[in-house]
């Protein structure tokens, strides 16, 4: 099984080393389309937030945002983006493996293009994301589907890192799906996500009776 980069921090430090924001400074389009779910005052976690486009946008909307990413270079750029926007985000440098996952802490966990995770890492990560939610909390997740391997316009060229409907239905089957939509769109999110893309967007709600640990 291909597990992705041998040294992900070094790889992403290098990718983010220039001043430009390689995924852009505007929020992910799918996430922005769900602005109505993200209410001022909500406590949210942005997983693997990169250069900060999504965390800054949520903070601008009045949410209380925690965000982390493995790359200190990317997190520095995110801090700059937040400072330039005049908002506060609680940033940390951490891998998903080392992040001190809290239980029952967040109104929403936002995971946009976190497909660095191989199946084993992903299984643990998805459990931790669910467990981090308060009752009624939301997971908002965007990723690529296997068809993206034909387009090559972003995302890892690794089939087992991509999301099928079946995979997400199984991983989040203990939640209520408000949306699970496979679709295609032309992305223009910086230089790295650019062109015709095969996507999935998922909004899942933690129901009151659910116990994820």
Q: Residues interacting with ligand SAM, by CB under 6 A? A: 8, 12, 23, 28, 48-50, 53-54, 69-71, 74, 95-96, 112-114, 116
Q: How far apart are CB 155 and ligand SAM at their closest, in Å? A: 7
CB of 37 to ligand SAM, least distance (A): 17
d(CA 70, CA 160): 21
CA dihedral sign, ordered 194, 196, 202, 203: positive
Considering the complex, state which of residue 191 and residue 207 has its C-beta at the smaller distance from ligand SAM. Answer: 191
CB of 135 to ligand SAM, least distance (A): 26
- SS3 state at 21: coil
Least separation, in Å, of the C-beta of 207 and ligand SAM? 26
Q: Least distance from C-beta 157 to ligand SAM, angstroms? A: 13
Judged by DSSP in three states, 200 sits in strand
Toward ligand SAM, which CB reaches closer, 3 or 147?
A: 3
- Angle (CA) 28-15-100 rounded to 5° is 70
Long-range contacts of range 61-65, CB-CB < 8 Å, 24 or more positions apart? 61/35, 63/38, 63/39, 64/90, 65/89, 65/90
CB of 47 to ligand SAM, least distance (A): 7
Q: Is 194 helix (H, G, I), strand (E, B) or coil?
A: strand
State which residue, 84 or 136, has the beta carbon closest to ligand SAM. 84
Nearest to 73 by CA among 146, 151, 15: 15
As a whole number of angstroms, the distance between CA 57 and CA 76 comes to 16
* Minimal CB distance residue for ligand SAM: 50
Among all chains, which residue has been given the structure tokens 């506060």? 88
């Amino acid at each position: 099984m291909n597990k992705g980069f041998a040294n992900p921090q070094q790889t992403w430090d290098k990718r983010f080393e220039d001043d430009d924001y390689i995924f852009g400074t505007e929020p992910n389009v799918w996430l922005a389309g769900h602005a109505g779910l993200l209410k001022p005052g909500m406590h949210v976690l942005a997983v693997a937030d990169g250069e900060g486009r999504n965390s800054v946008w949520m903070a601008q909307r009045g949410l209380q945002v925690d965000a982390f990413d493995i790359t200190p270079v990317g997190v520095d750029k995110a801090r700059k983006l937040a400072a330039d926007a005049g908002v506060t985000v609680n940033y940390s440098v951490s891998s998903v493996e080392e992040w001190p996952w809290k239980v029952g802490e967040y109104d929403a966990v936002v995971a946009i293009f976190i497909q660095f995770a191989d199946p084993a890492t992903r299984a643990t990560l998805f459990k931790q994301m669910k467990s981090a939610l308060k009752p009624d909390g939301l997971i908002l997740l965007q990723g690529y589907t296997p068809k993206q391997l034909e387009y090559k316009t972003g995302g890892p060229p690794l089939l087992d890192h991509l999301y099928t409907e079946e995979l997400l239905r199984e991983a989040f089957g203990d939640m209520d799906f408000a949306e699970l939509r496979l679709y295609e769109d032309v992305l223009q999110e910086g230089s790295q996500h650019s062109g015709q893309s095969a996507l999935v967007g998922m909004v899942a709600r933690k129901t009151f009776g659910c116990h994820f640990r």
